[in-house]
Amino acid sequence: MIREHFEFRQTIATILADDAGAVAAAKSGMLAARQEVERRIALDPYFQATFEPYTVTASEKAVGRMVRAAAGAGVGPMAAVAGAVAWSGVEAMVDAGASFGLVDNGGDIALVSDREVKVGVFAGASPLSGQIAFRVPPQEEILGICTSSATVGPSISLGVADAVTVFAPDVAVADAWATAICNRITAEDTSVLDTLSGAGVRGVLAVIGDAVIRWGDLPPIVRARVDERLITAGRRPV
């Protein structure tokens, strides 16, 4: 398996693939999505600045996905950008014939897989950080596994959770809802999870200190020792 680090401007990602052709396809897909988003921002800077849902008429695939996901989650469209870019990368891998492909765009993952994959949970100073992982079964269709944190990384969060991981077939939806849930959930107040019916979210795991909150259908969670050198992190993703 090939593991390749990829950086372009604010995008800092890790690509996993079985061959170099799939890696090249992932890069091409991510760059195309970035270009769509950058053009939208150049035309309409408010698209990047707002923390609220923003209705625009978008012909661009990535921008449209961001807008729809953000509207459902009640956040700004840029809350879904990393997931949308990762999604475009894995879509390009599938179009190139890959049966296995993963893009980790700063903690927002899109994957398709013909094998089981372990995805670790990094949650900052929580005692559970790096100690647990999801055992994700093979996925014939693309799956989003997106994580937001109020205590780790450069992305803006209004909450307190060390990690909120959201599973959804729509990767932009997973990204937007990870932000929305992380903004609102606490160990004492999990009412935001009551709003997920019909949102397209498959499952949620929230880590807040030593508290673990689960919702929906999650893959098996196993004990693990996550190698922090493999964590994809960096500047605020675009």
Summarize pLDDT for 92-122 with one digit per residue, the tens: 999 999 999 999 999 999 999 999 999 999 8
Q: Classify residue 45: in a domain, yes or no.
A: yes
Judge whether 235 lies within some domain. Answer: no
CATH number at residue 210: 3.10.520.10
pLDDT over 70 (residue 227): no
For residue 201, being part of any structural domain is answered with: yes
Structure tokens at 42: 């150049």
What is the average pLDDT across 13-37? 97
pLDDT above 80 for 49:
yes
209, 128 in Cβ contact below 8 A?
Answer: no
Q: Does the pLDDT value for residue 226 go beyond 90?
A: no
pLDDT band at residue 131 using 50, 70 and 90 as cut-offs: confident
Residue 218 predicted with pLDDT over 50 = yes
238 lies in some domain: no
Provide the domain count of the chain. 1
Q: Which residues contact 191 (CB under 8 A, 6 or more apart)?
A: 184
Q: What is the CA radius of gyration of the chain?
A: 16
Is 238 a residue whose pLDDT tops 50?
no
Q: Residue 145 domain-assigned? A: yes
Question: What pLDDT is attached to residue 232?
Answer: 66
What's the predicted TM-score (pTM) here? 0.92
The answer to whether residue 237 sits within a structural domain is no
Q: Which domain holds residue 112?
A: 2-230
pLDDT averaged over every residue in the chain: 92
**Cα–Cα distances in angstroms (integers) from residue 183 to residues 51, 61, 153, 156, 198, in the given order:** 11, 26, 15, 9, 20
pLDDT > 70 fraction of the chain, expressed in percent and rounded:
92
Alpha helix locations (H) across 4-53? Answer: 20-43, 46-49
Phi, psi of 60 (to 5 degrees): -75, 135
What's residue 160's pLDDT? Answer: 87
236 within some domain: no
Q: What does the pLDDT look like over 156-206, one tens digit per residue? A: 567 789 999 999 999 999 999 999 999 999 999 999 999 999 999 999 999
Ranking 73-82, 165-174, 229-238 by mean pLDDT, the lowest is: 229-238
Instruction: Confirm whether 135 is domain-assigned.
Output: yes
CA geometry: angle 217, 74, 105, nearest 5 deg? 65
At 161 the pLDDT is 92
Q: For residue 194, what pLDDT is reported?
A: 96
